[in-house]
Each structure stands twice: as C-alpha cells, then as structure tokens.
Amino acid sequence: MDQIHDDYSFIGCSFDQNGTVDGTTMTVRQLTISSTNITLDEFRKRDGTSSTVIQINGQDAIVHPDGPVSCFLETSGPDGALDIQLSIVQPHSAEQPCGNIKDIANVVQGAVSGK
C-alpha cells in the first residue's frame, strides 16, 4: 500500500484478521500501518476538533474515529508521522475500533523508534 503524490507520500502495510461469522470465514478486522512525510502538526490541522490528543510512549499522538467502524491514530515517526488505521468489518460487532488502537500504536511506535 504505497501512495506518492506531489507533496506527500505514504508507505505501509495492511493486515486482515479473519474470523468466523455465522459459519462463514471472513475478514473481521483490518489494520493499516503507514509511514508518511506528513507531520503530526499537519494531521492536527487537517483533523481539527475531531481528534483527541493522547500519549504514545511519551510522545504526542492524535486519535480520531472515522465513522462507527474505523479509527485513525497518528504519532511522530521516522519520516514525519506514523498513520495507523483500525477498522472493524465484522457484521453485528459491538467492538469499538478506537478501543484497541492505543495498545497497537504503543507496540508499533516502540518498534519503529527502537524503544
């Protein structure tokens, strides 16, 4: 999952988690992790009041839902920012996508920064 534009770029990976729903195996969660040259301040300006400032491994991060099934979290990264998206695609799920994204970001950001 790479995107290159005139002023910014993303490079990353997407992961699907399969589960069984009503006897059928299907994707129930999707996780996308990208590194981008967009800074955390640029994400703050873009997302405005829809984001909440939190701490990830002692660094500022912003988290914001994207509808009822997706959540984004951005924190400082080696190229500008790390952009993490968690989506719940399982039908009838009561799981909140912003509920687990901080734990995921702590692991990813820690691995990328070497902490």
Q: Which of 58, 57, 103 is nearest to 84 (CA)?
A: 103
- The pLDDT tens digits for 23-56 are 889 888 999 999 999 899 998 888 777 889 999 9
- What is the per-residue pLDDT for 112? 83
* Residue 102: strand, helix, or coil: helix
Q: What is the model's pTM? A: 0.85
What is the band of 2 on the pLDDT scale with cuts at 50, 70, 90?
very low
- What is the per-residue pLDDT for 114? 67
Tally of residues, the chain: 115
Distance CA 93, CA 7 (A): 38
- What is the per-residue pLDDT for 115? 59
- What is the per-residue pLDDT for 21? 83
Contact 88, 95 (CB under 8 A): yes
- The pLDDT tens digits for 59-103 are 999 999 888 889 999 998 888 899 999 999 877 777 888 988 999
Contacts of residue 113, defined as CB under 8 A and 6 or more positions apart, other chains included, come to 57, 78
Backbone φ and ψ for 26, nearest 5 degrees, come out as: -150, 165
Q: What is the DSSP code (8-state) at residue 84? A: E
Q: What is the DSSP code (8-state) at residue 1? A: -
What is the band of 8 on the pLDDT scale with cuts at 50, 70, 90?
confident
